[in-house]
């Protein structure tokens, strides 16, 4: 296969555009037969022309400059804004529920939610999906393929959405803000979990041993181990077993020199996980981001907050 590489620079970022001559290696769009030889090395999307690729690159380098006059949504290019305006013109409108879309393809995919049609079948387990991209993502659970790579830390992901969410770890971007305490999160799922665990009074999960109630199934499972002495985490080097995964990681680090040690720059205490180090440093700095929903007390860690909230509970 013959491959040529062209480098382009956009606002301080360098991209490699790979032009591959072997048509067998060219990803094709699921709805047409056009070859797409122009590859974006940031997110692995492919395009039919170099111009389309160059326009796409701007999504990685500039802000959202074009605002919709109808709903104030913002877009990175005039083309995306024009496409979005179709939503307000009702050009592609679902006759079942009245929802509007920016393209005929979006409307076609949406209609399957009413019909229940699942046209795409996995050849391994026969599970069916409504969209081709859902099948592609599912297939990677069988193959173990992780084609999306973080350019900062080399961590790989099976889906582009997972990579985009991961990149916020490096950029510090937390676009999802809690309306109750103004705490911000990198993903919408983290925000929902926060609302459920911190602000909700619902405790639908009860312990069959002592009757204690919990907000999540994870908290219940963790609690049940105190009754059963279950130790599901086993060391692959020796016969030791542990109740929690962080105990195993600490054991691997200290007893078998496996893993990475994170050191506090203030007191030089060492941790087996970076998250544990971050929580520890908050105690030095006096940062207390976890606020009790029942009283004004604040805490350095989520565990401290959970322990405190038992004061307000009925059990």
pLDDT at 105: 80
Domain boundary among 43, 61, 79: 61
Rounded Cα gap, residues 86 and 81, in angstroms: 9
Is residue 285 in some structural domain? yes
pLDDT under 50 in the chain at which residues? Answer: 1-31, 315
Domain boundary among 61, 77, 110: 61
pLDDT at 26: 35
Is residue 283 in some structural domain? yes
What is the per-residue burial (b if ≥16 Cβ within 10 Å, else e) of 185-220? Answer: bbbeeebeebbebbeeeebebebeeeebebbeeebb
Is residue 48 in some structural domain? yes
Is residue 13 in some structural domain? yes
Task: Specify the pTM.
Answer: 0.36
| Residue 149, beta-bridge partner list | 156
Domain boundary among 20, 41, 61: 61
- CATH (domain of 304): 3.30.160.60
Pair of tokens at residue 164: 């985009």
Is residue 77 in some structural domain? no
Is residue 35 in some structural domain? yes
Pair of tokens at residue 101: 């879309």
pLDDT at 59: 66
Rounded Cα gap, residues 191 and 184, in angstroms: 8
pLDDT at 136: 86
pLDDT at 24: 34
Rounded Cα gap, residues 130 and 135, in angstroms: 8
Is residue 40 in some structural domain? yes
Find the domain containing 10 and state its range: 3-61
42 to each of 17, 56, 80, 189, how far by Cα in Å?
10, 11, 20, 24
Q: Residue ranges of the alpha helices (H) in 26-116? A: 50-61, 78-84, 86-89, 104-115
Burial of 172 by CB count in 10 Å (0-12 exposed, 13-18 middle, 19+ buried)?
A: exposed
Is residue 113 in some structural domain? no
Give the single-character DSSP code of 199.
Answer: I
Which among 101, 128, 96 is positioned nearest to 114, based on CA atoms? 96
pLDDT at 22: 37
* Long-range CB contacts (within 8 A, 24+) of 222-225: none
pLDDT at 7: 42
pLDDT at 284: 85
What is the domain count for the chain? 2
| Residue 17, beta-bridge partner list | 6
End-to-end CA gap in the chain: 69
pLDDT at 58: 66
pLDDT digits (tens, 9 = 90+) for 137-186: 888 888 888 888 888 787 888 888 888 888 887 777 888 888 888 788 88
């Amino acid at each position: 296969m013959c491959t040529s590489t062209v480098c382009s620079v956009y606002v301080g970022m360098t991209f490699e555009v790979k032009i591959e001559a072997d048509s067998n290696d060219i990803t094709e769009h699921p709805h047409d037969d056009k070859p797409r030889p122009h590859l974006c090395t940031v997110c692995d999307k492919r395009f039919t022309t170099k111009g389309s690729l160059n326009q796409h690159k701007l999504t990685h380098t500039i802000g959202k400059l074009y605002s919709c006059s109808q709903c104030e949504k913002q877009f990175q290019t005039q083309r995306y804004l024009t496409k979005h305006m179709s939503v307000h013109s009702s050009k592609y409108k679902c006759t079942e529920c009245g929802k509007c879309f920016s393209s005929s393809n979006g409307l076609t995919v949406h209609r399957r939610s009413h019909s229940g049609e699942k046209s795409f079948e996995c050849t391994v387990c026969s599970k069916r999906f409504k969209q081709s991209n859902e099948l592609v993502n599912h297939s990677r659970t069988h193959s173990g393929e992780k084609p999306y790579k973080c350019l900062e830390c080399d961590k790989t992901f099976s889906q582009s959405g997972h990579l985009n969410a991961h990149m916020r770890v490096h950029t510090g971007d937390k676009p999802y803000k809690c309306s109750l305490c103004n705490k911000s999160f990198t993903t919408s799922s983290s925000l929902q979990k926060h609302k459920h665990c911190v602000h909700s009074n619902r405790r639908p999960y009860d312990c069959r041993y002592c009757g204690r109630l919990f907000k999540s199934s994870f908290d219940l499972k963790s609690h049940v181990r105190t009754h059963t002495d279950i130790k599901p985490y086993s060391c692959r080097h020796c016969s030791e077993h542990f109740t929690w995964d962080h105990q195993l990681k600490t054991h691997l680090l200290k007893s078998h020199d496996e893993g990475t040690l994170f050191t506090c720059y203030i007191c030089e205490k060492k941790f087996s996980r970076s998250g544990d180090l971050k929580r520890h440093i908050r105690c030095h700095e006096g940062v207390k981001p976890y606020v009790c929903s029942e009283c004004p007390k604040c805490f350095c860690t989520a565990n401290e907050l959970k322990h405190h909230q038992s004061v307000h509970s009925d059990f």
